[in-house]
Structure 1
């Protein structure tokens, strides 16, 4: 009997602004593809045409006046389309999926910072992901003053801050603690990495965690 492709792995990268998630995602994609495995690189909000349209609305600040719960609903709508159209099909064909932000961003931004009821947010999450949890989440921990400075340097001249980068330092400090609390509550899924390290050093640390947490014959 012909066997189907080996199931893919789902890795998410989480952390505050300027933590280096996109750069790390690129490094990991190269490492995994060098082993002959397929990688789908994606982000949230986004990853599908409808989700990208919602991303534009959220990051422009259009949704902010309606409050954190409406923001959470918008993120969830984007996530459902993203999962259905890109993430789940990629995993089913055996790809390794690396996603820049996923459920923990909603938990941190709209949950801890937006103060949405924890049970209500959990119910919304359950409906949204329909059982699709990351195999591994890498939490990139960084002093928010460093992260915001990095984010400022990468903006083009005259480019405005997005919906979240423009928040006060206290917001970003609370966000950092929210991510660390999630990692502490779910140590089997989450691993915290020092994002103040140079990109190559951070990438090697992340790769060591992947080899330890996601053992597979192809990963060496």
Structure 2
């Protein structure tokens, strides 16, 4: 089963849980904040010079995240979101095990993220929530306008199949109309999967990040 279909199955299951919740409570709001992201994967080597390899760098890149959210339910709730999210990570080029900082490469993505979280409220302030996320890459170190035009030219099914699947889990705090969320996000599928004749194998990476956002309920 393709990744996009798995995500749709998860969404249908969560929405079935949230149907009864929607009758009790509803919120609509805007949110914005920051991502601290990195990329992880196995080392790859230069095909002609095996003393040169590409490996992980633990540096986390900072990016913006923002968009809209809806919340259905009260003590138990479902929260779908539509977010514009900047993510990425850093590679190091090693020669004989020594890091060459001159060859450090930052990779940045611009994504459209659709997390759908199922949560529980503890008291009047604290929330716990977790769920799947589909992340559609619309730009990689390039202009956003051109990338969005490319996305718009593809069918909805093609865009869904291209989306990387992952998960989010974290805590939230509600004070009046304000919401603070702290989350961890991990990928189940690769966000980088590149074949290059200069490398001995495919360059594959999964992403993960820490995310902090502040939201405001407008309805």
Q: Does TM, normalized by the shorter one, top 0.5?
A: no
Question: Which structure has the bigger radius of gyration?
Answer: 2
TM norm structure 2: 0.23
Higher RCO (CA-CA < 8 Å; seq separation 6+): 1
Q: 1 or 2, which has the higher strand percentage?
A: 2
Q: 1 or 2, which has the higher helix percentage?
A: 1
